[in-house]
Amino acid sequence: MKSLNTRASWLLSRTPCPGIQMKSGGLSLLIDYIIVGGGSSGCVMANRLSANGSRVLLIEAGPDFRPDAIPDDILDGDPTRAYYNPRYQWPSLNATIVQDVSRRTHYEQARVMGGGSSINAQVANRGAPADYDEWASGGATGWDWEGVLPYFRRLECDLDFNNEFHGNDGPLPIRRVGKAEWSGFIRAASSAFEDSGIPFRPDFNGEFGDGHSVVPLTNRNRHRVSAAMAYLSKSVRARPNLTILPETTVVRLTSSGRQITGVETESETGRHSYSASTVVLCAGAIHSPALLMRSGIGPAEQLLNVGIPVVADLNGVGKNLQEHPGVAISAYLRQDDRMAPVATGYIQMHARYSSGYEGCPSSDMAISALAKSAWHPIGKRLGTLAFWVNRAYSTGTVSLRNSSHATEPEVNFNMLSDKRDGERLKEAFRFVAQLLQHKALLALALDPFPSTWNGRAKRISKYNRLNFGLTSIVATLMESSSWLRRSLIRSVITDGHSISDLLDSDELLGHFIRQNAFGNFHPTSTCRMGPALEPTSVTDPSGRVHQVSGLRVADASVMPFCPRANTNIPTIMVAEKMSHAILNER
């Protein structure tokens, strides 16, 4: 059969190690670890587990790029082109954002080597020490701040700080956007934050607390450094015991009783099976639980309803889905106060502050300040304060619609279902609207309006010539007169509601928040760590899946809850810590 022979020849030429053998009727790999998913955590796992000679197979559903052939849009320090390139996304993944609002939307999740780190905004913050202490007290033993800080240090090569908080010889460079690169809009926002009691902090990954700061980025020389670039370097890829299979989908896990024996895959060469001592899921908080359930590991009743035989009845699989719900306010910027074309990154300033809402910790809210809101001519003229609930309490679910791997799971974030989240987001809208009335911002952030991340905004953000042409026309009209600009904002950009409309009516503001809340693409917690007897726990603290053997999960899905941070660096930390645990056991 051509597909098997082709696949076997390619693998044998790619990885000439003694653990690969041909057997009659197909290809047999004697593999120590199969890693499912080449996102941030998968890249870490492939590097660390193959470093000591273990035979590792890394499988990624999306494309892979050699270190000397990274596409320009991925390499670009400005993520707005790569982020909206459909080549790097799961094309059919949709999600319900707010349960009782009839709005399903495409949910952008990376399908490319490096995962989100190849297309995201590169923000490199960690979260609060208290987040990790709470993980540990809830049953994730060893994941307190003292237990995770060494792995935050291990992953990074901080180019700005050298102290007890930072590492300086890890694979991932972290640098900060200097104040000298701040646009006029960002400098004015900084003044407004200072006068509102949110002081400047030079190091956002130092002592944790309220404040605003230059943004730490996974970036070097104004270029992105993804997990794939950092962990799958040319020398790592040359290891004879590491095989990488891109553009290959894992259909299901194979098993014998409750022993996981390997995976079944699908690619352009057909269906293949691979066996290994251990399978490590690094497919993310949406696709890791979906793969578990397709393989018979999950809530028994749900599995039987879609015709999947039960291997292990684990009720927590797909439960506890979390995200950071947010909305935004934008304004038209004077030309001299926009982001310079050569400036680093995309988000120029980040802030944390405390809502004071009962039952919520300090520094539970976040704001990102952008002096450019998109790649196109309209976006280059708009400044945005995007704000979100940094410690959320609402939880949702990932479930199967049927047993087919070709059908994306049902994703329901159920955002704002916890009253604390909705009320804090409304109050954040009022706070940011007040910030924009600060004297420093009034002079240069003109005609502010509530931003919406709806289908129209997503369509116009796709990087193509048509969108460039359309937005060029609108941008030219916006600059021609202030009256026409306000008219276009009201009729073309927004849904017709002004900031004052929303501030005058708590009911209208609540409706706007529920209709327009968006996620920050930080899904977590659908295979959460915890004790085996805890009903919603899926793995133990080293990622071993309860009730089965030979299977681990090592991505953002194991987080007990979403930390107060952009989740890329915490996800890499999770993989660093779990790979260390695996190697220690071995």
Last residue of a domain, one of 494, 516, 538: 516
Is the domain of 221 the same as that of 257? no
Is the domain of 385 the same as that of 483? yes
Query: In this predicted model, what pLDDT tens digit does every residue of 236-271 receive, in sequence order?
Result: 999 999 999 999 999 999 999 999 999 999 999 999
Spatial separation of the C-alpha atoms in residues 142 and 145, rounded to whole Å: 9
Is the domain of 422 the same as that of 461? yes
Is the domain of 458 the same as that of 330? yes
pLDDT of residue 2: 34
113: pLDDT confidence band, cut at 50, 70 and 90? Answer: very high
Residues 468-480: what's their mean pLDDT? Answer: 87
Is the domain of 106 the same as that of 46? no
Is the predicted pLDDT of residue 44 greater than 50, yes or no? yes
Into how many domains does the chain fold?
Answer: 2
Is residue 511 annotated as a catalytic residue, yes or no? no
Is the predicted pLDDT of residue 16 greater than 50, yes or no? no
Spatial separation of the C-alpha atoms in residues 140 and 531, rounded to whole Å: 8
Is the domain of 104 the same as that of 42? no
As given in the structure block, the two tokens for residue 307 are 């015709």
Is the predicted pLDDT of residue 17 greater than 60, yes or no? no
| 3-class DSSP assignment, residue 321 | strand
16-25, 116-125, 312-321, 564-573: segment of lowest average pLDDT: 16-25
**Contact 559/321 with Cβ under 8 angstroms?**
no
Is the domain of 533 the same as that of 411? no
42-46, 181-185, 545-549: segment of lowest average pLDDT: 181-185
Q: Given the DSSP bridges, would you call strands 104-106 and 94-96 parallel, antiparallel or unpaired?
A: antiparallel
Spatial separation of the C-alpha atoms in residues 527 and 538, rounded to whole Å: 5
Residue 123 falls within a domain, yes or no? no
Residue 138 falls within a domain, yes or no? no
Spatial separation of the C-alpha atoms in residues 483 and 489, rounded to whole Å: 10
Spatial separation of the C-alpha atoms in residues 566 and 324, rounded to whole Å: 9
Identity at 486, one-letter amino acid code:
R
341: pLDDT confidence band, cut at 50, 70 and 90? Answer: confident
Is the predicted pLDDT of residue 24 greater than 50, yes or no? no
Q: Of 43, 50, 42, 76, nearest to 229 (Cα)?
A: 43
Other residues' Cβ atoms within 10 Å of the Cβ of residue 322: 29
State the DSSP code for 139.
T
Last residue of a domain, one of 479, 495, 516: 516
Residue 141 falls within a domain, yes or no? no
Residue 202 falls within a domain, yes or no? yes
Spatial separation of the C-alpha atoms in residues 294 and 487, rounded to whole Å: 51
Domain that includes residue 61, residue range: 2-10+28-66+231-318+525-585
Is the domain of 356 the same as that of 272? no
Is the domain of 311 the same as that of 357? no
Last residue of a domain, one of 486, 516, 546: 516
Other residues' Cβ atoms within 10 Å of the Cβ of residue 191: 13
Residue 137 falls within a domain, yes or no? no
31-45, 78-92, 127-141, 558-572: segment of lowest average pLDDT: 78-92
| Share of residues in the chain with pLDDT > 90 (%) | 79
CATH code assigned at 54: 3.50.50.60
Is the predicted pLDDT of residue 19 greater than 90, yes or no? no
Catalytic residue among 212, 287, 350, 522: 522
128: pLDDT confidence band, cut at 50, 70 and 90? Answer: very high
pLDDT of residue 484: 86
As given in the structure block, the two tokens for residue 417 are 């279902």
Is the predicted pLDDT of residue 49 greater than 90, yes or no? yes
- Three-class SS string for 377-413? CCHHHEEEEEEEECCCCCCEEEECCCCCCCCCCEEEC
109 or 341, greater pLDDT: 109
Is the predicted pLDDT of residue 409 greater than 70, yes or no? yes
Q: Given the DSSP bridges, would you call strands 312-313 and 297-298 parallel, antiparallel or unpaired?
A: parallel
455: pLDDT confidence band, cut at 50, 70 and 90? Answer: low
Residue 132 falls within a domain, yes or no? no
Is the domain of 62 the same as that of 191? no
Is the predicted pLDDT of residue 22 greater than 50, yes or no? no
Spatial separation of the C-alpha atoms in residues 558 and 542, rounded to whole Å: 10
345: pLDDT confidence band, cut at 50, 70 and 90? Answer: confident
Residue 199 falls within a domain, yes or no? yes
117: pLDDT confidence band, cut at 50, 70 and 90? Answer: very high
Residue 429 falls within a domain, yes or no? yes
Is the domain of 572 the same as that of 451? no
Cα-flanking dihedrals φ and ψ of residue 101, to 5°? -110, 125
Residues 318-323: what's their mean pLDDT? Answer: 98
CATH code assigned at 98: 3.30.560.10
DSSP annotation string for 151-164: HHHHHEEESS--ST
Is the domain of 480 the same as that of 504? yes
| Share of residues in the chain with pLDDT > 70 (%) | 94
Q: Which helix (H) or strand (E) holds 20?
A: strand 20-23
pLDDT of residue 447: 93
